[in-house]
Amino acid sequence: MSQATPAPEQPAGSTAPAPRRDDGIEARAQGALREMLTSSWLVTVCALVLAMVISGVLIAAADADVQDAAAYFFARPADFFSAAWDAVWGAYVALFQGAIIDPTASTFTRAVRPLTETMTTSVPLILAGLGLGIGFRAGMFNIGAQGQIILGAIFAGYIGFAFDLPPVLHLLLAVIGAAVGGGLWAGIAGFLKARTGANEVIVTIMLNNIAIYLVGYLLSTKAFQREGSNNPISPPVGGNAEYPLLLGSGFRLHLGFLLAIAAAVFVWWLMSRSTLGFQFRAVGSNPSAARTAGINVNRVYLLVMMIAGSLAGLAGSAQILGTEKVLTDGVAASFGFDAITVALLGRSKPLGTFFAGLLFGALRAGGFAMQARTGTPIDIVLVVQSLVVLFIAAPPLVRAVFRLPSAGGRGAAPELSAPVVKEAAA
Amino acid sequence: MSAVAAPASRPGSFAGAKPLAPISYKAPIGYAAVAALATLLFGILPESGRRTTFSVSTRDDFFQIESFTVPSKATALLLCLAALALSAWTFQAARTRRKVGIWLPAVYAVLLIFALLTWAVAGKDQALPLTSLLQGSLFLAVPLVFGALAGLLSERSGIINIAIEGQLLAGAFLAAVVATITQSAYLGLIAAPIAGALVSALLVAFAIRYVVDQIIVGVVLNVLVVGITSYLFSTVLADNAATLNSPPRLPRIDIPVLSQIPVVGPVLFKQTALVYLMYVVVIVLQVMVFKSRWGLRLRAVGEHPKAADTVGIKVNRTRVWNTILGGAVAGLGGAFFTVANGLAFGKEMTGGKGYIALAAMILGRWSPKGALAAALLFGFADNLQVVLGIIGTPIPSQIMLMTPYVVTIFAVAGLVGRVRAPAAEGVAYVK
């Protein structure tokens, strides 16, 4: 299987040049309008709207009141539409109140708690998404964030509960352990790709499954299982190894959020300012050309995977040292897979990934509130997420739906497009 | 399969022959290392004096075979030594550049598996039921076989199908709902392929019409199908479980005469219609993919689309229809989870089987019979863990469950022979 060949430094989507004639303000305004309509962020917004509309149809279809009203649709269609509107609006309002701010709450603390929950939930998504983004830009499709998060959590968790160390040192060691664990696990895939050309998609999928059974096995051993418990659960991590809370005990928001911001800055510096990042991007654009230019491509494969894995491992530390505090076989939830959609939505760029992580964190945090208040299952969030990414990947579809002017190309967004057979290909 | 040497690979056979590739001892070393490890674990380290009992016959057979008991340590040692001898033979074959047939890894695997079984149930009172072990393995391999064939159909045409998981899940969902509404398991079996084909249709729509990276579409479609089916499960199905989600079970059909042959009969011919359908699909595809005009075109499009286009084959049309056909096959496999077991649909009930099917396809080197063999191996590992769990064994179940994935990693890393994907896989074709 060949990988995506992302075109790293193209301004996404805006290939149509704005007209730059000095015919007066009107022409320039038209040019600006045209640029706005063909820009990629507008596609992103439209894709989000489209995804929420389609999910809205699903919400309405599953609503009992709507089904009742549909039974006499031709007699009183207005009933049907108002019932559908109530169902969808109610669900999305609950989602918003659960994700951003809840104006109906009794105290200020409760009103802003949803926002902090969104930030807390987004930490593993951002960290793992940043790692995957590096891989995508280096032309490696790493599906293994799930396994790397688990390995990070195993390492951090073990250091957290097996030792008793002074405050700062304990946390530091546990966090480093998480990065090492995730990095080594991903490193297997990088090593095999470099040495034998083994396809990283398959290897990382397999490593995900192995990691799930590995944590299950470890939790049945004496070293990991909580004393006196028959369940696969570890002892809680020591207080010194936990991430300190940022806003006091009323909120779950922890230091991991600042770590995620720092990681985003680091990834920006790595990919845009360092020689190593340049090599990563060069290999992603064209491995053969990179090799000819003297870049050690195999070393790049290994390093990309190890750095990506370390970031996913840090995501695991956010789970075990920040929110969960104990190791279970569900410690990674589905963050590893969600992070793939985060990286894709963020177009593999650090800033984009950061905001995409916040958005999907909000959907997740709000989804729980929505489920509790309106009974709409949180699974609908998965539908929204996957639809957003599908639409982002196919801008012509979104433009056609919203009647936006075309941006020139007829294919996918450059970062997400498939390699194409070229006329001059040897 | 014969182990005939290709004439061109004999050194100095004729002038102007291509220079020979360097001899690789990777595979022989791999074989030898595993066999040596097995010899140590099963043949040398265990304490002697224990015995292992295997039972073979079932009640309805023409004639009964007595269950037999063997001394554990000596038997395991003998089997492992035979495996070691085979490894030695691969060294010799590699040195003389002879190709080894598919029989070698097969015999090697059987030897080691029997050594493992002999060791695992050593000293237990209960006999290891060989026949039901194989019967269950075949049953558990069903979704893997269908999934692997689905992957094969689309990947041979050049479309990477990561969405097998989603196709299985969609098939399982629709099969359960249709079978419950109509109260007929067979109608569920007919509905399942439609769901799988729909997922495939989405895959090709984005991969070909909008030239989106195929791996990305596949991964995202898996999430989408999980989202939609879980959502409908928690809303519509949960409220009306009796009327929408309690499918009847597909009945077992015993084929007359054949089903009474000892061992073979119960394993192969006391199964459901879905399993018989699987035999048909594997045989038909094995013949059609390699011997028919359709198969030739399919492979041409996946290997060199430009050449195929030049001779007038519609590249993208071929890809669309074969991928959709593949989706239908995977959807059929999805019916395994619900109607074949008589189980209600549950959230994410395919549990990663689609990814194992993908692995089976790769391990089977993109051929139907290879996919069947690999899927059977995975099904066996799956079922062995269940059977040994009942008898009680020294191996943790997680380690058993991990094995297929580890084997796959070794396979793609080239230790179990070379695997090569269709050349144009994942590459969009735009005129």
Is the pLDDT at B136 greater than 60, yes or no?
yes
Q: How many domains does chain B have?
A: 2
Taking residue B350's Cβ as centre, other Cβ atoms within 10 Å add up to 30
Contact B224 A387 (CB under 8 A): yes
> In A, residues 238-297, which contact B (CB 8 Å cutoff)?
none
Q: Of B367, B399, B425, which closes a domain?
A: B367
Look at strands B51-55 and B128-129 and give their pairing. Answer: parallel
B181/B261 same-domain check: yes
What's the residue count for chain B? 431
Structurally, chain A folds into a number of domains equal to 1
**A196 in contact with B at a CB cutoff of 8 Å?**
yes
Measured CA to CA, the distance from residue B276 to residue B316 in angstroms comes to: 32
Partners of residue B216 in chain A, C-beta under 8 Å: 4, 344, 389, 393, 416
Buried b (16+ CB within 10 A) or exposed e, A4-42: bbbebeeebbbebeeeeeeeeeeeeeebeebbebbbbeb
Cα angle, residue B190 at apex, residues B189 and B196 outer, rounded to 5°: 90
Binning chain B into helix, strand and coil, the percentages to the nearest 5 are: 65, 5, 30
Statement to judge: residues B319 and B297 lie in one domain: yes
Q: What residues of chain B lie within 8 A of the CB of A207, using their CB?
A: 405, 409
Alpha-carbon gap: A77 to the closest alpha carbon of chain B (Å) = 22
Q: Which DSSP helix (H) or strand (E) runs through B51?
A: strand B51-55
Residues 106-165 in A contacting B (C-alpha not used; CB under 8 Å):
141, 143
With respect to residue A102, please indicate whether it lies within any of the assigned structural domains: yes
Phi/psi for B406 (5° steps) reads -65, -45
Contacts of A275 (CB under 8 A, 6+ apart): none
Both B188 and B331 in one domain: the answer is: yes
Residues B142 and B239 in one domain: yes
Q: Mean per-residue pLDDT for B58-70?
A: 71
Q: By CA distance, what is A140's nearest residue in B?
A: B215
Mean pLDDT of the region B57-73: 73
Contact A418 B211 (CB under 8 A): yes
Q: How far apart are CA B407 and CA A101, in angstroms?
A: 50
8 A C-beta contact, residue B79 and residue B115: yes
Supply the range of the domain harboring residue A255: 41-402
The residue with greater pLDDT, A414 or B400, is B400
pLDDT band at B7 (very low <50, low <70, confident <90, very high): very low
3-state secondary structure of B53: strand
Q: Residue type for A316, please?
A: G
Which of chain A's residues have a Cβ under 8 Å away from the Cβ of B206?
390, 393-394
CA distance linking residue B6 with residue A122, whole number of Å: 58
Banded model confidence at residue B415, pLDDT cuts 50, 70, 90? low
3-state secondary structure of A7: coil
Residues B91 and B157 in one domain: no
- Residue A12 in this model has a pLDDT that exceeds 60: no
For B187, other C-beta atoms within 10 Å of its C-beta total 17
Provide the ipTM.
Answer: 0.85
With 60 as the cut, is the pLDDT of residue A5 above it? no
% helix, strand, coil for chain A, step of 5: 70, 0, 30
Domain match, B173 and B316 both: yes
- Is residue B190 located within the same domain as residue B254? yes
pLDDT value at residue B305: 92
Which residues in chain A (338-377) have CB-CB distances under 8 A to chain B? 340-341, 344, 376-377
Q: Which residue of B has its CA nearest to A329?
A: B398
CA distances (Å), origin A306, targets A277, B53, B406: 14, 48, 20
pLDDT in tens, A244-292: 999 888 899 999 999 999 999 999 999 999 999 999 999 998 999 999 9
Residue A12, in any domain of the structure: no
The shortest CB-CB distance from A382 to any of B219, B226, B306 is to B226
Joined tokens for residue A380: 């609908």
* Shared domain check, B267 and B288: yes
A336 CB-near residues (< 8 Å, 6+ apart): A128, A144, A145, A146, A147, A148, A149, A150, A208, A312
**In this structure, what token pair is assigned to residue A173?**
């060691």
* pLDDT, mean of residues B160-183: 95
Q: What is the pLDDT of residue B164?
A: 95
Indicate the residue among B319, B340, B367 that finishes a domain: B367
Which of A1, A58, A218, A341 best probes binding to B when mutated, by most B CB atoms within 10 angstroms? A1
Q: Where are the alpha helices (DSSP H) in B97-163?
A: 103-120, 130-156
Per-residue pLDDT of B181-205, as tens digits, reads 999 999 999 999 999 999 999 999 9
Residue B428 to residue A419, Cβ atoms within 8 A: yes
Give me the total of CB pairs closer than 8 Å, taking one residue from chain A and one from chain B: 179
Whole-number pLDDT of residue A104:
86
Residue B232's alpha-carbon distances to A377, A400, B198, B228, B353, in angstroms, are 9, 29, 17, 6, 21
Residue B145 shares a structural domain with residue B231: yes
Asked whether residue A245 is assigned to any structural domain, the reply reads yes
- pLDDT, mean over chain A: 87
**How far off is chain B from A300, nearest CA to CA, in Å?**
18
- Nearest-neighbour CA in chain B from A243: distance (Å): 31
CATH number of the domain residue A281 falls in = 1.10.3470
Distance CA B404, CA A397 (A): 40
DSSP for A206-247 reads: HHHHHHHHHHHHHTTSTTTSPTT--SSBPPPPPGGGSPPBSS
DSSP reduced 3-state for A420: strand
Which pair of tokens denotes residue A245?
């809370």
A-contacting residues of B 204-263, CB under 8 Å? 206-207, 210-217, 219-221, 223-224, 226-228, 230-236, 239
For residue A32, the model assigns a pLDDT of: 66
Residue B59 pLDDT: 64
Q: Taking Cα atoms as reference points, which of B169, B148, B195, B162 lies closest to residue B350?
A: B169
Strands B68-71 and B51-55, bridge-based pairing: antiparallel
**Domain assignment of residue A15, yes or no:** no
Both B76 and B168 in a single domain? no
**Is A8 inside any structural domain?**
no
Whether B299 has a pLDDT exceeding 50, the answer reads yes
CB contact under 8 A, A202 and B226: no
Chain B residues in contact with A2 (beta carbon < 8 A) = 425-427
DSSP string over A274-294? SHHHHHHHHHHH-HHHHHHTT
Cα distances (angstroms) measured from residue A126 to each of A173, A301, A316, B15, B178:
22, 22, 12, 61, 41
Domain, as residue range, for B238: 133-367
How far B185 CA lies from chain A's nearest CA (Å)? 25
Give the Cα-Cα-Cα angle B210, B212, B216 (nearest 5 degrees): 145
**Choosing among A68, A143, A200, A213, which should be mutated to test the B contact, i.e. which has the most B CBs within 10 A?**
A213
Confirm whether A92 is domain-assigned: yes
Contact across the interface for B220 and A214, Cβ inside 8 Å = no
**A chain contacts of residue B359, beta-carbon cutoff 8 Å:** 202, 205-206
- The residue out of B98, B126, B154 marking a domain boundary is B126
* Domain assignment of residue B417, yes or no: no
- Helix runs in A63-107, H state only: 64-71, 77-99
Answer whether residue B94 shows pLDDT above 90: no
Do B85 and B178 lie in a common domain?
no
| pLDDT averaged over every residue in chain B | 86
Chain B environment of A188 (Cβ under 8 Å): 409
Residue B394 located in a structural domain: no
In a domain, B387, yes or no: no
What DSSP character marks residue A143? -
- Is A371 contained in some domain? yes
Best of B144, B152, B220 to substitute, by most chain A Cβ atoms within 10 angstroms, is B220
Give me A128's structure tokens: 């793992």
Residues B327 and B207 both lie in one domain: yes
* Closest partner CB to A389 (pick from B211, B220, B226): B220
Provide the pLDDT for residue A3: 44
